[in-house]
Amino acid sequence: MIGAVASPRIALTLLGAVLTALTLGALTLHVPGADTVGSPLRANLFVGVLAVSAGVYLLAVRVVLRHDLPASATGLVLALAVLLRLALLLQPPFLSSDIYRYVWDGQVQGAGINPYLYVPADPALTALRDPAVFPLINRADYARTIYPPAAQAFFAVVGRVSASVTGMKAAMLLCEGVALLCLLALLARAGLPRVRILIYAWNPLVLWSFALDGHVDALAVGLLALALLARARHRDGLAGAILAGAVLVKFLPVVVAPAFVRGGRLWRPALAGLAVIVALYAPYLSAGAGVLGFLPAYGSEEGFDTGQGFWLLAGLSHLVTLPSVAARIYALAVAACFAALSLWVAMRRAPKDVPEAVVLCRDAGLLAALATAAANPHYAWYYAWLALPACVAPSPAVIWLSAAPVLFYVDPFNERFVWPGLVFGPALVLALRALVRWKRAS
């Protein structure tokens, strides 16, 4: 009996040690002072190490899902998660420069200026420029901020405490801490082993996206975790209000809303969410239509208007010449399919033999994964949030999509189909296999 319990724990310990070594090894590939990994060779090596880390992570997930582990294993998982985050927190961001815009937006608001009014390079903001932040802001000369009001409020609050990159990263890690606590509560509520927290806590894409680069998605993840916990506790209005906050951090979380209104529980969360949206937008309405910031132009920059930004259309374009309306047809088809799925999720009765928290997270994970995959952004960190619901309702396809996009940190072929296919192809196979098994079971 002792050996049967000890063997999986030893395996988990060894996998954790390998993951730590790979994470620290990847850090050594960064050239001090550079705002990227360095040379193309170093970048390729770096992503290779991250890909191996993702493989080690998937093996660790397999261990926690297939074996009964002692309660002490949860402490091991959380301790290593904290250690890895601290190691990355102390390093400068070098996979993305987005965090400099966060700090800048906080400084702009600290000066009493609406961040949606000006691009960073506007002469009106000259007095706010500093050598540590301003030179590293991306799109500084042509794009107003793209981040919604909840994110802006967060930037302003953090800026009052610490107008620095490290301070902003630390604030994002606090949001992750909230998410971890909520996940532990959801696992307990579902009667599941708490060691499954590893599915989120050890995910390499989560680690590098939040602890190293401090992406604002960490705030959305923390709010979404709070919303899931509130909904599982039948606090529908509170859940709707918090979910609205997550949506106004990064608009994508709106896709999980149907999971929150299952069983006709619609009006209270909808009204609470609408009230939060109005309250958060109100302080910034002096910008008029500009309150949307760079968002209207972002889709064009990413190639969504021509269709080249979509994985499926990019693949088809290698075979045939696509019509000019291909992107619109794709968007309409995706919208129709997603609307049907949303209606099915909202109206379907939950099985009585499955804990409510599991059903909630399963539906949220399904909606989040399908919407993210359909939009298929080529920035890796957009996929990290998928690890959150997968802790309570693990799905091979969703877990794969939450980790494999570490490959997107390089683009060796400079096109949007072949290399991304290494992520989306296996995800599609895993999803189809799950669908076949579900059909057989039902």
Distances (CA, A) of 412 to 74, 409, 416: 38, 10, 10
Question: pTM of this prediction?
Answer: 0.95
pLDDT (0 to 100) of residue 6: 54
For residue 429 the two structure tokens come to 């196979």
The per-residue pLDDT for 361 is 97
CA distance 213 to 169: 7
CB 139 within 8 A of CB 98: no
pLDDT by 10s per residue, the chain, length 442: 444 445 999 999 999 999 999 999 999 999 888 878 888 889 999 999 999 999 999 999 999 999 999 999 999 999 999 999 999 999 999 999 999 999 999 999 999 999 999 999 999 999 999 999 999 999 999 999 999 999 999 999 999 999 999 999 999 999 999 999 999 999 999 999 999 999 999 999 999 999 999 999 999 999 999 999 999 999 999 999 999 999 999 999 999 999 999 877 788 999 999 999 999 999 999 999 999 999 988 888 888 888 888 999 999 998 899 898 999 999 999 999 999 999 999 998 878 889 999 999 999 999 999 999 999 999 999 999 999 999 999 999 999 999 999 999 998 888 889 999 999 999 999 999 999 998 887 7
Distance CA(50)–CA(204), nearest Å, equals 7
Cα gap 201→79, rounded to integer Å = 10
Q: How many other C-beta atoms are found inside a 10 Å radius of the C-beta of residue 391?
A: 30
pLDDT digits (tens, 9 = 90+) for 237-266: 999 999 999 999 999 999 999 999 987 778
Q: What pLDDT was estimated at residue 440?
A: 86
pLDDT value for 385 = 98
Tokens 């990355």 locate to: 88
Query: Whose CA is closest to 214, among 128, 115, 101, 114?
Result: 101
Q: Tokens 């708490």 map to which residue?
A: 194
Q: For residues 80 and 95, what is the distance between their CA atoms, to the nearest angstrom?
A: 22
DSSP letter at 93 equals: P
Amino acid identity, position 82: V
| Separation CA 115–CA 106 (nearest Å) | 8
